[in-house]
Amino acid sequence: MKSGKQRRTEIQVQRAEQRDDAADAAAKLRLDERARNAKLANGEKARELALVSKRLHVNPANLGPNVSWGWPEFVHRGYYVDQPFSCRACGKEQVWSATQQRWWFESAKGDVWTVAVHCRTCRIKERERKNLARRTHLEGVARKRSDGA
């Protein structure tokens, strides 16, 4: 069994080692940051700025009503990002582009918690299927009214 004095000494040594490790990690981070800044100064900075300027920024005033307590990630981030998805109907890999997202959320006033699940061709097929079902239903209702009248 160790005395309190021995234990305190061990704890002080451990804490000193932890401080040294933290200082080494911070120094490494500073070196990495300097290296990254040097790379950016060599031409990558212009490319990075071009990417930032191409981003489609979110205008929260144009978004539809949100009945949730929070906002989705793209609102907090401040810009839209292309999102890959797999079509539920056909399984093809697709990308929901930032432009499409901006149109859906800001122009069409779509729900901010929705994501794309069908590719364009499957959306068109589904829309045609629904229109045919609606037309058939309305024709049946009209026929029923004319037979009963």
Give me the number of domains the chain comprises. 2
Structural domain of 47: 1-54
Residues 76 and 119 grouped into a single domain: yes
Q: Are residue 63 and residue 108 in the same domain, yes or no?
A: yes
What pLDDT, on a 0 to 100 scale, did the predictor assign at position 20? Answer: 84
**How confident is the prediction for the chain on average, in pLDDT?**
87
Are 138 and 65 in the same domain? Answer: yes
H helices present in 78-119, as ranges:
98-102
Q: Are 44 and 98 within one domain?
A: no
pLDDT in tens, 115-149: 999 999 999 999 999 999 999 999 999 999 998 76
